[in-house]
Structure 1
Amino acid sequence: MNDLEKFQPITTFIFDVDGVLTNSQLLVQEDGSLLRSMNVRDGYAIKRAIEQGYKVAIITGGKSEGVVSRLENLGVVNLYYGIKDKVAAYREFMYLYEDEITFENVLFMGDDMVDLQVMKLVGLPACPNDACPEILGISQYVSHAKGGYGAARDVIERVLKLHGKWMPSDTDDGDGLPTSV
């Protein structure tokens, strides 16, 4: 199976946050609060996918209100954060959409051991190129990008281009781009 065939059935993207939407770095402030950096191009792709009718979910162990706010502003409604059991969260998500998607339709992008079991349950397990060796070993697609540097954009753009939904159309308002990324 070539790369394009792997992406054909995908209608749903699920992402981990730290190490996928961020670069795995945490800046610890004096008060103990943590800062993360997220890629604006990943944000554009997430928003574009949602606007084009794809489902996007987040399953993360993190509890950052800033990250939640950022993802909500992009239009993500299926946010599972502070999660200890990612498999249970994945199953809950799949139950919500049982009449619309099957495991073959799901791409999950993770980067570390906590993502391993979920990645075994989806149609297309994917990872950034700086994921841990075990995740690299089970991924059917390894992005050319590192986590936090466009890995999410990479997989979303591939799917939307394959389905003819990446480029703005004449029916999009304005320049066809999502308004706030």
Structure 2
Amino acid sequence: MGNFKEDIARTEALVFDVDGVMTDGGIVPTPDGDFIRRYNAKDGYALGYAIRMGYKICIITGGRGRTLENRLRMLGIDRFYTDCMDKITVLRNYIREEGLDPQNVIYMGDDIPDLECMREVGIPVCPADAASEVIEAARYVSEFDGGAGAVRDIVEQVLRARGDWARNSDGVTPSSLAASR
């Protein structure tokens, strides 16, 4: 474990929780058993841009619902695990399947169920409003809260460290992501 900026330049994959990381943690249950979540467009743009630039993005969340899965697909994320109660096993399998060095993996979580995963990777990070135990376990605490730019913050830092941020002015939209596949 060296300098944070040097370490993020070696990032092989970024793994995120959803509720409290990609959202502010608020959920509204719907009568059909789904949930409505509010997402930050800049977080979504950064994720879509990273995917378009060839970065590996994975979602591991206890959250569930068709609306959540639709959002992840719209961003171009194809490695996601929802309704997951054993995050560490899923993370270990993902790292093995992708042939990643855990020291070069970022995991962003915000609460107690994320701690095991954060301890498994070399670059644990969290939003500003994460649980105190998570903040203590993180190498980097974003200045932004979950659902308010924390995801964009770490994605942009990684891409900047690797010279990939804003390399072109092509926009990223769900239709452009689908066309690039």
Query: What's the TM-score once normalised by structure 1's chain length?
Result: 0.90
Work out whether residues 126 and 143 of structure 1, in 8 Å CA contact, stay in contact via their aligned partners in 2. yes
What is residue 39 of structure 1 aligned with on the other side? 40
Work out whether residues 168 and 177 of structure 1, in 8 Å CA contact, stay in contact via their aligned partners in 2. no
What is residue 87 of structure 1 aligned with on the other side? 88
Q: Does 1:12 align with 2:13?
A: yes
1:179 CA drift (Å): 2.5
Alignment of 1:1-181 (within 5 A): 1-29=2-30, 33-98=34-99, 101-169=100-168, 175-180=169-174
1:5 CA drift (Å): 2.2
1:28 CA drift (Å): 3.6
Q: 1:23 to 1:123 in 2, by over 3 A?
A: same
Secondary structure of the residue aligned to 1:120 is helix
- Give the aligned length: 174
Query: What's the TM-score once normalised by structure 2's chain length?
Result: 0.90
Secondary structure of the residue aligned to 1:37 is coil
Q: What is the Cα-based RMSD across aligned positions, in Å?
A: 1.6
Partner Cα distance (2:158, 2:78) in 1: 20
1:29 CA drift (Å): 4.4
For residue 14 of structure 1, what is the amino acid of its counterpart? V
For residue 177 of structure 1, what is the amino acid of its counterpart? G
1:7 CA drift (Å): 1.4
What is residue 178 of structure 2 aligned with on the other side? none
Work out whether residues 108 and 125 of structure 2, in 8 Å CA contact, stay in contact via their aligned partners in 1. yes
Larger helix percent: 2
Q: Deviations over 1:125-161 (max 9, x none)?
A: 0000000010000100000100000101000000101
Secondary structure of the residue aligned to 2:120 is coil
Long gaps (5+) in structure 1: 170-174
Partner Cα distance (1:157, 1:144) in 2: 13
Work out whether residues 34 and 64 of structure 2, in 8 Å CA contact, stay in contact via their aligned partners in 1. no
For residue 170 of structure 2, what is the amino acid of its counterpart? G
For residue 139 of structure 1, what is the amino acid of its counterpart? A
Q: Deviations over 1:44-94 (max 9, x none)?
A: 010111111110000001112111111111111111111110001101111
Identity rate, percent: 39
1:31 CA drift (Å): 6.2
Long gaps (5+) in structure 2: 176-181
